[in-house]
């Protein structure tokens, strides 16, 4: 069902500082920051030859990652994103197997302009999983 690893997301309290670390210290190519109000985050993507790192900063106090950053002020891995060919088929198959889809279960458009869903971390060894339609 799952395809390649699309990205690893790291939640941070200071997006500019995190971006500078990847750009200046590690020499990585980074995108411009993009605010996604519908997801409550501002993101920067770090381009790697085989995947991406998504740096996430809360966008406002109601951000779904605000609590995570408050508990982890130095930042931390927030989720893993895997590609799937058909997000609705994947959702239905996962739900039939007992996995919990977060939210209302309907895909939302993610940072790459493609449908995404999140799966409950308790069903995946403590890891929050995002699925993105390839």
Catalytically annotated residues: 130
Locate 46 and state its tokens: 């770090």
Task: Answer yes or no: are the C-beta atoms of 125 and 106 closer than 8 Å.
Answer: no
Task: Answer yes or no: are the C-beta atoms of 19 and 44 closer than 8 Å.
Answer: yes
Q: How many CB atoms lie within 10 A of CB 98?
A: 7
Q: How far apart are CA 48 and CA 51, in angstroms?
A: 5
Is 58 in a helix, a strand, or coil?
strand
Q: How far apart are CA 18 and CA 30, in angstroms?
A: 11
């Amino acid at each position: 069902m799952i395809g390649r690893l699309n990205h690893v997301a790291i939640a941070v309290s200071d997006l500019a500082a995190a971006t500078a670390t990847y750009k200046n210290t590690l020499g990585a190519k980074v995108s411009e920051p993009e605010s996604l109000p519908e997801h409550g985050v501002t993101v920067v993507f770090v381009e790697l030859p085989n995947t991406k790192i998504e740096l996430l900063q809360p966008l406002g106090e109601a951000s779904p990652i605000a609590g995570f950053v408050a508990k982890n002020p130095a930042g931390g891995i927030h989720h893993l994103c895997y590609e799937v060919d058909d997000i609705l088929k994947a959702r239905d198959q996962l739900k039939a197997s007992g996995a919990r889809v977060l939210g209302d279960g309907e895909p939302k458009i993610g940072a790459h302009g493609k449908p995404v869903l999140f799966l409950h971390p308790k069903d995946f060894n403590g890891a929050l999983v995002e699925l993105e339609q390839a």
